[in-house]
Structure 1
């Protein structure tokens, strides 16, 4: 979705929308957040995110294709596939921290008021 000036929104807003389209699904966010802790095997990600094998496989493939995640295959018995964040993926860590700080203040406050 390439938008620019004169196409219905300012350029900064368009970048935000474009980035959310890349990382904004529930499962993509869960995997990216989980991998902040370090490299994980497929089944570890499956357990920690609660995603089905099919969904997780699609998500990590998408994230790898977009350059957020690296995949490493260890062929020694037992064969294992490991996933980790790339430099691009790691650059999201401060974003997750900022969202977490915001949520602690505002989401918790909203729940108290409800």
Structure 2
């Protein structure tokens, strides 16, 4: 739950609340990576660089919050697959906007 002051408007509170849900390094990495489509646990582990323990905690948290679906395939070899829910997919334009911003402002700072 976000800590709010009396002077903050509702829009600011929504931004803070949303960053508390998705704002960690590992949550952002997983959500961004799953934009490409469904992935197995080990694929996510390789692409994000997270440890097994960290990744397990993150995908569980994202699942509980409704951003990620988990699918277990029990045929040999047993595999767990993760994909974005509709709620998770709704973040794709946000990632695009952040990417555009970073290209303009972060790249500009690097060349300055």
TM-score scaled by length of structure 1: 0.91
In structure 2, distance between residues paired with 1:24 and 1:68: 13
CA drift of 1:50 comes to 0.1
In structure 2, distance between residues paired with 1:8 and 1:38: 41
CA drift of 1:113 comes to 4.3
In structure 1, distance between residues paired with 2:77 and 2:28: 29
In structure 2, distance between residues paired with 1:93 and 1:112: 26
- 1:20 is matched with 19
In structure 2, distance between residues paired with 1:61 and 1:21: 16
Q: How many residues are paired up?
A: 107
Encode CA deviations 1:73-104: one digit per residue, 9 max, x unaligned. Answer: 00000000000000000000000000000000
The correspondence of residues 8-47 of structure 1 with structure 2, limited to 5 A, is 8-47=7-46
Encode CA deviations 1:46-73: one digit per residue, 9 max, x unaligned. Answer: 0000000000000000000000000000
In structure 2, distance between residues paired with 1:60 and 1:9: 31
- 2:111 is matched with 113
Gaps of 5+ in 1: 1-6
- What SS is found at the alignment partner of 2:105? helix
- Deviating beyond 2 angstroms after TM superposition, the runs of 4 or more aligned structure 1 residues are 111-114
- What SS is found at the alignment partner of 2:27? helix
In structure 1, distance between residues paired with 2:110 and 2:47: 28
Aligned CA-pair RMSD: 0.9
